[in-house]
Amino acid sequence: MVERIRRAQELLDEYRVSALLLMSSPNVFYLSGLKASLAYLVITKEKAYLLTDGRYYERAKPLAHELLEVHLILENPLQTLKKFLRSLAVPSVGIEGDHITLAVRNSLRSRYFKLIPLVSPLKKLRLRKDERERELIKKAIALTDRIFKELLEGPILGETELSLRGKVVNKAFSLGSTGESFPAIVAFRENSAIPHWESSNAKISGKGALLFDFGVVYQGYVSDFTRTVYLGKAEEEFKRAYQLVKEAYFKALDMVRVGRDAREIDLAVRNYFREKGVLSHFTHSTGHGVGIEVHEPPRLYYNLKEEIRIEEGMVFTIEPGLYFPGKFGIRLENIVFVEDGRGVVYSEVPLELLEL
């Protein structure tokens, strides 16, 4: 955390601010190690200050170090923060313009300092994961693999989408996770054609596509995983579509190289699907960054205005999919680590079609 705070301090000159105020839980956690619903982190050139209330103060105190002071909020949080910022005598404070609400911004207005909205102020730092972060994500992936394998070993027919989701959650907690990285998606038959389907009471019976999309949280870092299996003997239409998705996945993975524009990965998938005449059935981006949050930069999407060059240490998903409304959907997803200049996958769950 000391090194991360030092890197954050270097941003002050780049943003031309005297201090940086972080209020979003992921950014506060990234620089302090504290996960809390109410915590403020103020970065100056000399120090970092973590302010939180009595619910989290005892957890926050051990996080203090040579660069980080921990302060207890006893009164109104925003009024306390405003007074604290004034006490620092800083003329300008960079704030998370893409996170802070107008009401909070108005509450912090002061004639003693100027608030400077910034967009994703820690984006540059969080794009690349350090060794510790990568190891935690790999452990989350190992848990996800195990959950999926155990899920397929148990009964599936006769369950509902929600009861299978419940098994995912129970297994996650029993294996050492602290929760889901997002509400797990279990989608059967035509429901699998809706990319962000909400698991329902639909009963799993007979044959058809069954899509699992879930992830776990491990020591503050998350995984994200999708596989589509088929209950019974798959029809040729499904097999052909599955093969296209699998081939698109490997084309995307092969595009992962240090120095390449991340948008080109998405373009490779789109060009392949266009060539095969199914591009209209691909309705989302090819991938997204993963770390403290399940969706963070970089986004793998051809139409982004900003160029993002792939760097060593980046971690993101590759998840092409094809969706045929009223029939079925297929998505295959792994987390990819940029190591030694290329993309490396640590999930041990194969991408071959499983007919159960």
Q: Are strands 208-214 and 334-339 parallel, antiparallel or unpaired?
A: unpaired
Boundary of a domain, candidates 73, 104, 126? 126
Q: In terms of domains, do 160 and 84 share one?
A: no
pLDDT of residue 279: 98
- Extract the tokens encoding 86: 């004034």
d(CA 15, CA 225): 36
d(CA 312, CA 291): 15
Q: In terms of domains, do 88 and 216 share one?
A: no
pLDDT of 29-38, one tens digit each? 999 999 999 9
For residue 15, give its domain range: 2-126
- Extract the tokens encoding 77: 């949080």
pLDDT of 120-133, one tens digit each? 999 999 999 999 99
The count of domains in the chain is: 2
Q: In terms of domains, do 118 and 137 share one?
A: no
**Does residue 228 lie within any of the structural domains?**
yes
d(CA 73, CA 65): 19
Q: In terms of domains, do 207 and 294 share one?
A: yes
Q: Sheet containing 208-214: which strands, arranged edge to edge?
A: 185-188, 208-214, 225-231
Q: In terms of domains, do 187 and 315 share one?
A: yes
Q: In terms of domains, do 116 and 164 share one?
A: no
Half-sphere exposure of 335 (CA within 13 A, CB side): 32
Q: In terms of domains, do 311 and 188 share one?
A: yes
**Does residue 351 lie within any of the structural domains?**
no
Boundary of a domain, candidates 93, 111, 126? 126
Q: In terms of domains, do 44 and 114 share one?
A: yes
Boundary of a domain, candidates 81, 99, 126? 126
d(CA 36, CA 21): 16
Non-local CB neighbours of 103 within 8 Å, separated by 6+ positions: none
Q: In terms of domains, do 214 and 201 share one?
A: yes
**Does residue 350 lie within any of the structural domains?**
no
Beta bridge partners of 316: 289, 336
**Does residue 173 lie within any of the structural domains?**
yes
Q: In terms of domains, do 137 and 114 share one?
A: no
The CATH number of the domain holding residue 25 is 3.40.350.10
**Does residue 121 lie within any of the structural domains?**
yes
- Give φ, ψ of 17 to 5 degrees: -125, 160
Q: In terms of domains, do 119 and 253 share one?
A: no
**Does residue 352 lie within any of the structural domains?**
no
The CATH number of the domain holding residue 195 is 3.90.230.10
**Does residue 75 lie within any of the structural domains?**
yes
**Does residue 354 lie within any of the structural domains?**
no
d(CA 239, CA 194): 19
d(CA 1, CA 131): 13
Q: Are strands 68-73 and 208-214 parallel, antiparallel or unpaired?
A: unpaired
Q: In terms of domains, do 179 and 317 share one?
A: yes
pLDDT of residue 1: 87
The amino acid occupying position 26 is: P
User: Mind listing the pLDDT tens digit of every residue in the chain (356 residues)?
Assistant: 899 999 999 999 999 999 999 999 999 999 999 999 999 999 999 999 999 999 999 999 999 999 999 999 999 999 999 999 999 999 999 999 999 999 999 999 999 999 999 999 999 999 999 999 999 999 999 999 999 999 999 999 999 999 999 999 999 999 999 999 999 999 999 999 999 999 999 999 999 999 999 999 999 999 999 999 999 999 999 999 999 999 999 999 999 999 999 999 999 999 999 999 999 999 999 999 999 999 999 999 999 998 999 999 999 999 999 999 999 999 999 999 999 999 999 999 999 999 99
